[in-house]
Amino acid sequence: MKKLRKLSRFRPVLGFIIVILFLLFVFSPQVRSILTLPESQRLVVGEKSRISIKVPQNLSDKIDMLVSHSSQSVFAQPGDPPIVVRKNRDSYEILALKPGKAEIKLKVLGYIPVKTIEVESIPPKRVILGGHSIGVLLQSNGIMVVGFAPITSSDGKRVSPAKEQGIEIGDLIMAVDGNEVKTENDLARIIDEKKDRTFNIRIKRGKKIMSIPVKARFCPETQRYRIGLFVRDGVVGVGTLSFIDPESQKYAALGHIIIDADTKEGINVLKGRIVGASVQTIKAGKPGKPGEKIGTFDGEDEISGNITKNTMFGIYGQMDKLLENPLVDYPVEVGYAHQVKTGSAEMYTVVNDNAIEKFSIEVEKVYPERKNGKGMIIKVTDPRLLSLTGGIIQGMSGSPIVQDGKIIGVVTHVFLNDPARGYAVFMDNMLSELAEEEEINEKVSTNY
């Protein structure tokens, strides 16, 4: 009984010692080198990745890194897994053999699992490099309310019938009394026909569809019936083509969503086109005042295509015919986020007429985990471009960025307080939207 009492006195001390030893084990450099290994990894076919595990030699001999649960893509041949692992003296080398996915398990003594890494092997891809100046003509799916325009009646009162009934800025007017409206002129004509009768306006607000009754008022100033709204049915502007998929002739441009200048909302696409554009004048950027390209549309002779999507990562559509970049007359390989590094790179864009030029830039920071279109911070270093534009300006969005011969992303936004710097989006993000569209088209074409 006395021995049991003595042991019970030491239990708290023993527990404390065990906790300390456990913490020392977990936070030791050797264990941390294993626990901090990535949860997942992406490799292009033919690419190698090296993983170093810093443990004593006697423990290293008891650690194995094995490939398990492999799945091959439809492009791969049966047989070997899509990746293999080779053990070197103090590290492991992962080699991507063909497209597919696999799990790499790190085991001690051959059966105790301590870490699992999911590895995806993706096929190499090549695209036609952009840099071309384009004109963008985009018609929205619905007429967007961008402001209120009160009506001054004959007795001097200012009224806004649509606002009073609950219509808000940013609403999309889809139809009036069941009649679809696609342009500002459609809406004006229907309102004139209804005169002072109450009619129902079907609007889209976010994801909600609602019907709002409105009665127009006669406007002595314009001599027509109005409901007191400013509306817009589309936008036009100048931007830059990013790249073209040579197999499908699908293109990507701009690198960011087109928003309405008044409502700050993304525009739902009804239809639209891109055409060639020539840069006539450059308005240089200054801190606090973004610059811009001022250009004219050339028509549809050389550059022409439709617009099918307006997304977070730019506009997408189908080219009527393939283009070439005169500076790089062959498809360039895509560089993915995990391959991008800080250092020198080149940007392709137009600053005069329609001639594509190459300018030096610096990739200052890389955030591979970001999926918001701001994966890189870039800085313009080319003296000539800085003297012409001050750095990144409006109309430059979508300009492709090349590093080590691979297209790694496109320009998206400028820093307002420092025009020489801005954000760029990874090709991973751009291609994800392109793949999504091709998948939708494939489903449509096979659905009969």
Residues identified as active-site:
256, 382, 397
Q: Label residue 432 left, alpha or beta by phi (over 0 means left) and psi (-120 to 50 means alpha).
A: alpha
β-pairing, 83-87 vs 63-72, is: unpaired
Residue pair 284/169 in contact (Cβ under 8 Å)? The answer is no
CA 390 to chain centre: 25
**How many residues can be counted in the chain?**
448
Measured CA to CA, the distance from residue 70 to residue 373 in angstroms comes to 31
The residue ranges of DSSP E strands in 312-428, in sequence order, are: 314-318, 332-334, 343-350, 356-366, 376-380, 400-403, 406-415, 418-426
Q: In sequence order, what are the residues at sequence separation of 6 or more whose Cβ sits closer than 8 angstroms to the Cβ of residue 356? A: 131, 132, 325, 326, 327, 348, 349, 350
The runs of H, that is alpha helices, within 158-200 are 161-164, 184-194
What is the DSSP annotation of 100-129? EEEEEEEEETTTEEEEEEEEEEE---EEEE
Measured CA to CA, the distance from residue 135 to residue 207 in angstroms comes to 30
Whole-angstrom CA distances from 264 to 118, 292, 441 are 39, 19, 29
Measured CA to CA, the distance from residue 216 to residue 188 in angstroms comes to 11
Q: Which two tokens stand for residue 152?
A: 């001054």
Residue pair 148/169 in contact (Cβ under 8 Å)? The answer is yes
CA 166 to chain centre: 34
Measured CA to CA, the distance from residue 411 to residue 415 in angstroms comes to 12
